[in-house]
Amino acid sequence: MRVLVVEDEPSIASQLQSALEDAGFAADVAADGERADLLATTEGYDAILLDLGLPRVDGLTLLRSWREAGLGVPVLILTARGNWHEKVTGIDSGADDYVAKPFRIEEVLARVRALIRRAGGHATTVITRGRLTLDPRSARVTLDESPVKLTAHEFRVLSYLMHHADRVVPTAELVEHIYSHDHDRDSNTLEVFIARLRRKLGAAAIETVRGLGYRAGS
C-alpha cells in the first residue's frame, strides 16, 4: 500500500514518512502544492495526508481540484488544533477525515488504515482470506493462526492484493502501489516477491490470471 505525505515542515514530513514505512507502507513526500499535484495526478496512491498550509498551492485548492477531476483517493487533512473552520471546510471540500496538530503518530496511522479499509469495503480491521489473516495494525500475517515472517515488500504485495481481493489486480497497478516514487520499479522483481509469498503461504495464496494480473486466493 502506498501513501503520499504532503507537508512542508521537513521534520514532520520525515517523521510521518518513517512511521508509515515502519508500518508497512510505501511513502512519498511532497513539500509544496505543485509537487503534490504532480504526484497525486500521475501516481497511484491508497491514501494522501494533506497539510492545508502549503507553499505555491494551498491544500484546500489542491483538494477541490482533485475532487473536481474525479480523483477519489482517500484524503486525511492535517490541520492546526482549534482551527475548526479549516476542518469543516476541508470536509466540505472532499476530505475523508482530519487530524489536528500536534498529533500522535499512532492516531495518524490508525486513521490512514481506517480510510484504506473503508475504501476497500472492509468493515473490520483484520482481513481474512481462507487460511490467511492479515492485520494492518501490526503488519502481521498468520497462516492457520501461525505467524509468517514477511519482508516489507512481500507484505506490501500481499496487503494490496488482500485489500482488493474482489478483483484481479493488473501487474502495473500492483507495481505502482508497492514502491515509492524514487524506487526502481521492476515487474520482474514483483514476480520474485510473488514466488516467495507462495513458498511461505502456499501456492493457492496468490492466483495468476494470465494476461491480466494477480488475485488473492480464496
Determine the Cα–Cα distance for residues 176 and 170; give it in Å rounded to an integer. Answer: 10
C-alpha distances in angstroms, 189 versus 154, 193, 218? Answer: 11, 7, 24
Of 126, 119, 189, nearest to 154 by C-alpha is 189
> Parallel, antiparallel, or unpaired for β 140-143 and 26-30?
unpaired
Task: Taking residues 132-160, report their average pLDDT.
Answer: 92
pLDDT of residue 84: 67
- Chain-centre distance for alpha carbon 68: 22
Model confidence at 184, in pLDDT bands (50, 70, 90)? low
Determine the Cα–Cα distance for residues 199 and 181; give it in Å rounded to an integer. Answer: 28
pLDDT value at 20 more than 90: yes
Model confidence at 81, in pLDDT bands (50, 70, 90)? low
Task: Taking residues 13-37, report their average pLDDT.
Answer: 95
Write the pLDDT tens digit of every residue in 83-119. 667 778 878 888 999 998 889 999 999 999 999 988 8
Domains of the chain: 2-119 (3.40.50.2300), 127-216 (1.10.10.10)
Model confidence at 183, in pLDDT bands (50, 70, 90)? low
Exposed, middle or buried, 201 (CB in 10 Å: 0-12/13-18/19+)? Answer: buried
pLDDT of residue 43: 92
Exposed, middle or buried, 104 (CB in 10 Å: 0-12/13-18/19+)? Answer: exposed
C-alpha distances in angstroms, 163 versus 128, 145, 169? Answer: 10, 19, 10
Cell of 117: 479499509
Task: Taking residues 4-30, report their average pLDDT.
Answer: 95
What share of the chain in percent tops pLDDT 90? 67
pLDDT of residue 181: 74
pLDDT of residue 187: 64
Higher pLDDT pick, 10 / 125: 10
> Rounded to two decimals, what is the model's pTM?
0.81
Higher pLDDT pick, 182 / 95: 95
Query: E-strand spans in 39-155?
Result: 47-51, 75-80, 97-101, 127-129, 132-135, 140-143, 146-148
Write the pLDDT tens digit of every residue in 32-74. 999 999 999 999 999 999 998 899 999 999 999 999 999 999 9
